[in-house]
Structure formats: C-alpha cells, structure tokens
A and B are shown apart, each in its own frame.
Chain A
Amino acid sequence: MAVDYTFPEGSARTAAAQQEAAEHMSISMGPSHPSTHGVLRLQLDIDGEIVTRADPVIGYLHRGDEKIAENMTYNQFVPYTDRLDYLGPLSNNIAYAMAVEKLAGVEVPPRGQATRVIAAELSRISSHLVGLGAFGIDVGAWTIFLYTFTEREKLYRLFEELTGARFTTSYTRIGGASRDIPEGWLGRVDAFCDQFLPILDEILGLLTRNRIFLDRTEGVGVISRADAIAYGLTGPNLRASGVPLDLRKDRPYCGYEQYEFDVPVGTKGDSYDRYLCRGEEMKQSVRIIKQAVKAFPGGDWFARDARRIFAPPKDRVLTSIEELIQNFMIVTEGPKMPPGEVYFEAENPKGILGFYVVSRGGGVPWRLKIRSPSFCNLSILPKTCVGAMFTDIVAILGSFDFVMGECDR
C-alpha cells in the first residue's frame, strides 16, 4: 500500500522544513561501540557528514569510588586505585600512595623510589601500547594492535613477577610496596627494554609515514594551546598542543630529577601530534628505565617510619603480642593519620592524576577526591568534535586515549 507522505496545507512541516529534518540527524554513539573504548556515549547531531553538536554522556561506569574511600581505611583503598586507569594500574597505585605519604609525612627511601619509577614507566609503556594499538584499529590499521599486544604481554609477565598480578596489581603500600623486587627482575627489565626499542621503531614505522594514517589524522581534532590549558587537558594530549607541562620534569617527585629524559611536545595539536607524542614518550620511558636499572640503589625498599601505617609481617603477628595488637588496630580502625589537607598530582600515562585528601585524623579519609585526567581530557569533546566529519570522531576519540574506569570513577 502506498503511504501518503504529504502534509496538509498550512502544516508547519513545509517542504523546506522536511528537507532540513532529513538532513539533520541525531545519533547516539555508544555506550557500547568499539571506538568509544569502554562505555562513553556521544550524543551527536549531524548535518550530512558534519557534526553540529556533540554531547558526551558519561557515568556508565560510575562505581562511587570516592564514597567508598570515605568508608574504608587508607590501606584498604589501594586495590580500588587499580580500577581507575586500568591500563596503567601501577601508576595509579603510586600516585595514591604518594598522596597519602604526603599527608603522613613519610618519605620512601631511594630504593623504593627507584622501584616505583621503573614500575611507573613500564606501566606508561604498557598503557601507551594499548592506546596506540586501539588507535590503529580505530583508523583501520589492524596490524599495530597485534604488535603492541605482543609487547604488552611481555610487560605483563614482568608485572606479574613484581606484584603477583598481571592486571590489578595493587603493588604499593603507604610508605612502601607489597614486596621488594624479585631476584633477577632488573636484568629482565633491562633485556625487555633492549629488545623493545627496535620493535617500537617497527611499530611506529608502520604508521608515522603511512599515507592512509596521515590522511585520517593530520589536521583532525585540532586543539589550540589556549584551549588545551583552558579545558584542563593534561598528559600527552596537552603536550601535543605545544604546552611542555610534564610533572616528572617540572615538579619532580619520586626521584625523577635524577634521570635524564626529554619531554616531547607537539606543534599543531591534532590527532597525529598526539600519536607522535605517545610514540616518543615510550622511547623516553625506556631511557628512564635504563638509567634507573643501571643506578639501582641498595638499602630499604620501604620507609621505616611507615610501620605505624601498614600491617606488620604475618609471621611477626602470629608470634609477638606487640605486632598482634598493632595488626589488629591497623586492620580494624586504620592507621593513625594527622589531620590536614593534601593535593598530590602525578604524571600518569593519561595525564595528571590528582588525589585531594581531606583528613580529620584517624584511619579513614573524610573526603578523597580523585582528579582523573580522562575526565578532564574528555570535557573538551563538545568543542573539538563540532565541525568534524562523522568518521573523524573515531580518529579524535582514538587519539585522546582515555579510559572510562578513570573518567567515571
């Protein structure tokens, strides 16, 4: 049966309005879409192929981490930090531990710091490898993913050896780590770095001068220097726009001032620059790791004065009444922390991860705010996506390298 599409005389939907309605389309991209890397949803209005409005809808992975933190002791929260940026859990562990150490006034000795630097840089490489592989897939280059995941697998073996877990590492403790580095681990880290550099060159060589990749990313999603600062972008996304802000260099923590490395900075702030920055950052991470391995200090790997914070070793708990009491108090009521407010930021793979801890004393934070880089980085999407082609959205999202676990908390 034929359907009559004409509207009665005097109807608001004139031919012109109908034409316009047909050209404008509202599309919901995600929350379950391969290129939105998790559960980001973009509410898009498109005019033909051009995006006229983009409204990111987040919160699908909200677990109330900040509420949970207010209801558990400082030590108990460490595993929750794994689940923020789950592609670089070691970096989150370290940032959280350092925030609470700042509150407690504890400083980790050089050996512990060097371990943390190596762990953080390995996790940066591992995070960038996923970001790069996924970006490759987003713009149609499948092979990259296979190469990067092979390398990441090698890293995960190193993480497993160090922490006992591949993915959710929960490695740090307030004032130290769950254990010292295993026998021979540094040698294997060094061997990984040596074999990784030529493979990284091979991976980057597949993309950097690739005509198709250039066409998809060059001049796409350009973010100006002023915009990047105004929207609070951090990490490679900020540096690609020409702002050389890297806290490892500019506000060194964890002994980063001892290591020699360069901060790659982009010039145009497009998707291609963001890709170049990540690629170069991996090489710089290898540089840092090699220096840290070479000059790996001896001595304690945990802070002696942090003993009032983390639970004593199990064999002591079972044989000595002092340690038994201390263990009981730390487990039930949490470590005694001084009242005060601290805000610590660390340069994580995705950007600056900040922990704002408000303590009123006792073993539980009164308020713990997680300033997550992915959350801030994504807030510029409504500006960046407008005017882009619909297919460019995929290239923009891929180049942002965000993780929703961290964005939604």
Chain B
Amino acid sequence: MPATHDLAAALARKFPQVAPRASTDWPAFNIPADQALTALQWLRDEAGFDMLTDLTAIDWSAAASPRFTVVWHLTSTSRFDCVRIAAACADDTSPSMPSAIALWPSANWHEREAYDMFGIAFPGHPDLRRILMWDGYPYHPLRKEFPLAGLDAPLPDAEVAEETGARVQAAPYMGGPFVATPGESAGVAEPCGRDQSWSEGKEKPAP
C-alpha cells in the first residue's frame, strides 16, 4: 500500500507541475488542465486507482479567476483508499476540460452533469448533452450567479408552451438565501426582511 507521501513523491517525479492541494482527509493534488488526462491515466494504470467514483466541478464565484475547478475522486478497489485530483479550467467565460471518458466510461454521465450544471465543455466527450435539466434550458444552475429561486425560462415542450402560454417561473417564495449574512443589520441580513423582488433587482446571468 503506497503511503500518502509515496504517492505524492511518485506523482511529483512523473509530473513536476503537480502541487499538493489543501485537504482535510484524502491526499489531494492540483494538476494543470493539459496534464490532467495523462496524470489520471497514470494513477489508474500505475497507482491502482481503478475506479472513478466521482467527478464534479466547483464555481469559485464570478469574480474569481480561475473560476471553475474540476475535481476527480479516484478509488482503488484493492487498497480501498481514495485520491482527489483537481484542475482549474483555464478560460473563465467558456471553461473546458479534456474528457476522461476514454479512461472510465463512468465519466460519461458525470461530465454531462458538470456541463449541465456549470457549463463546462469536455472536448472528447462523444455525447455532451444536458442530463438533469432539459435540452434547450438556457442557464447553468449551479453557477454562483444563478439565483436559488430560479429564473424565468421557456417551457421544455414548445407545443405545450404555445397552447398554454406558460413559462417556467422563479419560485414564488420569499426568495434569497435561507441564512443571514454575518455582520449586517437584521433588516438587511434577514432574508424575510427583504423585498420579494430580490431576484429581479439582480442582473440575469448570460445564458
């Protein structure tokens, strides 16, 4: 069983640009996006991490750069340990990351989900469609600027939309985060004290 430092040393030998990543539990590494695939392949073939358990992305807010980070969690089905690999997407407005589908077929749906929720493209993915939202939905809901209440959008079914004139509407509740922001007066910090039109005061994110 390679201990954490062995894995870190071996990775660093093979990929000099790998940097350790702050983590509370598993060994974690930051890898430049263009080396991500070769590093993942090395981890799969040489280090025994044969299962891709999870692939996801993080949006570090619209102001941050690099804005999007893609995170892979690999598990070894023989040693039962786990490793976290993260790579920042170079472009903040049209982020992309090479697809890991050739290494693990399980990346297929995970990448479709990351594309659906964050708008990250995965070049090399043969069938990059939305998976949880419907085809033609204009937004990427897990981006930070997308409001919790949702946004006005056309119905998925054009025929029904034409017949009923209905649209997908923002949630009718009092909107806003369920938590107060620290350090502000109660009238501002408490969501219930705010105007219901809070989501309209903000600019819509670009589709």
Contact = CB atoms under 8 A, between A and B. Distances in A.
Interface stretch (A29-37, A112-120, A286-294, A341-349): A341-349
A68 B131 CA distance: 19
B28 A232 contact: no
A356 B109 contact: no
Contacts of A352: 53
Contacts of A358: 58
Interface in A360-409: 362-364, 366-367, 369, 371, 375-376, 378-380, 383, 408-409
Interface residues of A, number: 53
Contacts, number: 124
B24 interface: yes
A376 B182 contact: no
A354 B71 CA distance: 14
A251 interface: yes
6 contacts: A67-B142, A230-B105, A250-B80, A332-B179, A364-B177, A378-B109
B133 interface: yes
B177 A332 contact: no
In the A-B complex, the 10 residue pairs with the closest CB atoms? A232-B106, A340-B24, A59-B132, A250-B80, A72-B178, A371-B54, A379-B109, A332-B180, A369-B56, A62-B132
B92 interface: no
Contacts of A279: none
A375 B132 CA distance: 11
Nearest to A247: B80
Interface in A241-300: 243, 245, 247, 250-251
Given A334-B179, A341-B24, A343-B26, A58 B80 contact: no
A333 interface: yes
Contact of A243 (B73, B77, B130): B77
Given A231-B106, A333-B180, A369-B54, A340 B22 contact: yes
Interface in B144-183: 146, 148, 177-182
A73 interface: yes
Residue among A103, A232, A358, A367 having the largest count of chain B Cβ atoms under 10 Å: A232
Contacts of A354: 53-54, 73
Contacts of A367: 56, 58-59
A232 B180 contact: no
B104 interface: yes
A102 B24 contact: yes
A64 interface: yes
A68 B148 contact: yes
B80 A71 contact: no
B53 A58 contact: no
Contacts of B98: none
B74 to A, nearest CB: 10
B179 A343 contact: no
A232 B108 CA distance: 11
A343 B190 contact: no
Contact of A364 (B23, B28, B80, B179): B179
Contacts of B179: 71-73, 76, 332-334, 363-364
A300 B58 CA distance: 37
A66 interface: yes
A376 B82 contact: no
Contact of A356 (B21, B56, B131): B56
Contacts of A67: 141-142, 146, 148
Nearest to B83: A343
B25 interface: yes
Interface of A: 58-59, 62, 64, 66-68, 71-73, 76, 102-103, 227, 229-232, 234, 243, 245, 247, 250-251, 332-334, 338, 340-345, 352, 354, 356, 358, 362-364, 366-367, 369, 371, 375-376, 378-380, 383, 408-409
A266 B178 CA distance: 46
Given A62-B133, A232-B53, A371-B53, A102 B106 contact: no
Contacts of B130: 59
A331 to B, nearest CB: 9
A358 B58 CA distance: 8
A403 B189 CA distance: 38
Contacts of B58: 358, 366-367
Contacts of B77: 229, 243, 245
A102 B53 contact: no
Contacts of A356: 54, 56, 71, 73
Contacts of B120: none
A203 to B, nearest CB: 31
A70 B54 CA distance: 19
Nearest to B58: A367
Contact of B131 (A59, A332, A344, A364): A59
Contact of B142 (A59, A66, A76): A66
A64 B142 CA distance: 8
Contacts of B51: 229-230, 232
Contacts of A232: 51-53, 104, 106
B134 interface: yes
Contact of A375 (B105, B109, B133, B190): B109
A103 B104 CA distance: 29
A354 B52 CA distance: 12
A334 B181 CA distance: 10
B193 to A, nearest CB: 12
Interface in B79-94: 80-82, 84
A188 B53 CA distance: 38
Contacts of A103: 24
B18 to A, nearest CB: 17
Residue among A64, A245, A352 having the largest count of chain B Cβ atoms under 10 Å: A64
